Amino acid sequence: MIAETVCSAVAAAGLGIAAITAYRKRFLAAARMTAYSLVPLGLVMTGVVDWLADTAFSPTAWAGFGVLGVSWLLFASTRAVERRRGGTRKERKEARSAGQREAVAPQASAPSLGAGTRQASRPATAPRADAGDDFSDIEAILKKHGI
C-alpha cells in the first residue's frame, strides 16, 4: 500500500515538473520527463509493485534467490574446469583411445617445414656501409622537409 502511494506521488511530481518544463517551451525535455514519470504509475497499475513488495519481504523468495545463485556458481565453475581440461569426459576418452591407436605418426621422420626453398634476401655477413653514408641519407631527408 505504501509502495503504491509513493509511486503515485513520484508520478504526480514528475508530471508537474514536465508541465513546468513545457511552459518554458522545452517540449522535447517535457515529453521525456512525462514518459519517465508515467513508468512508476504503470508499474502500480499492472501489479508489478505488489509482486515486488511481496517478494522483497518473503524469506522463501530470498532463499530461492540464494539457491539460484548457488546453482549459477556450480554451472560456472564446472564449465571453467571443463574448459581447462579440454572438453567433456567423453571427448577426453575418445582422444586418449585415438592417441593409443596411432602412437607414431607415419610421416614423423619427414621434415615438417620442407626442404628450405626460401633464399635469404641478403647474406648474413653483408659488408656495412660507411657511417658517413648513413648520415648523408638522413641529411637529404631533413633538407627535403626543410629542417
pTM for this predicted structure = 0.43
Place of cell 554451472: 75
Q: How many residues does the chain have?
A: 147
Place of cell 523468495: 61
Question: Taking the alpha carbons of 43, 46, 50, 54 in that order, is the dihedral positive or negative?
Answer: negative
pLDDT per residue as tens, the chain (147 positions)? 788 899 999 999 999 999 999 999 999 999 999 999 999 999 889 988 888 888 888 888 888 888 888 899 988 888 888 888 776 677 777 777 776 665 555 555 555 565 555 555 555 555 555 555 678 888 888 888 888
Rounded to an integer, what distance in angstroms lies between the CA atom of residue 7 and that of residue 14?
11
